Amino acid sequence: MFVAVACDLGSRDHQDRVYSSLVEYGFKKVHEGLYESFTINDQGLLRLKKELDRQTDSYDSLRFYQYPMENTLVISVLKEKKWRKTVVSTGRGRQT
């Protein structure tokens, strides 16, 4: 699975903690505030999201782009300490 994470963090302390966690989970920095991984699995991603939830506050925003997830693009957003998820069909495979 490919996962990209876009980070908009309110403080330097939060940046240091979040970026460190992303690297620990195998993400590579590709641009300022943007990390990617081709190796993380579903369980690792779930643990990472819980860890990042604890490291952030309501001023921080994280956006995860996950592909492929059963022929869909999944966009998960942490904003104002609430997770929201959008699922976009790629139009391939089975119909919904």
Q: Sort 86 into a burial class: Cβ within 10 Å, 0-12 / 13-18 / 19+.
A: exposed
Q: Within 10 Å of residue 61's Cβ, how many Cβ atoms?
A: 15
Our CA dihedral for 21, 23, 28, 29, rounded to 10 degrees, sits at: 60
Q: Please, what is the angle between helix 42-55 and helix 12-24, to 10°?
A: 160
The whole-number pLDDT of residue 92 equals: 60
- Mean confidence (pLDDT) of the chain: 91
pTM for the structure as a whole = 0.86
Q: How long a stretch of residues is the chain?
A: 96
Average pLDDT over residues 73-91: 90
The whole-number pLDDT of residue 12 equals: 95
In angstroms, rounded to a whole number, what is the distance separating the alpha carbons of residues 67 and 56?
24
**Quick check: 84 pLDDT over 50?**
yes
Question: In CATH, what class is 2-89?
Answer: alpha beta
Q: What SS3 state is found at 75?
A: strand
Q: What percent of the chain has pLDDT over 70?
A: 93
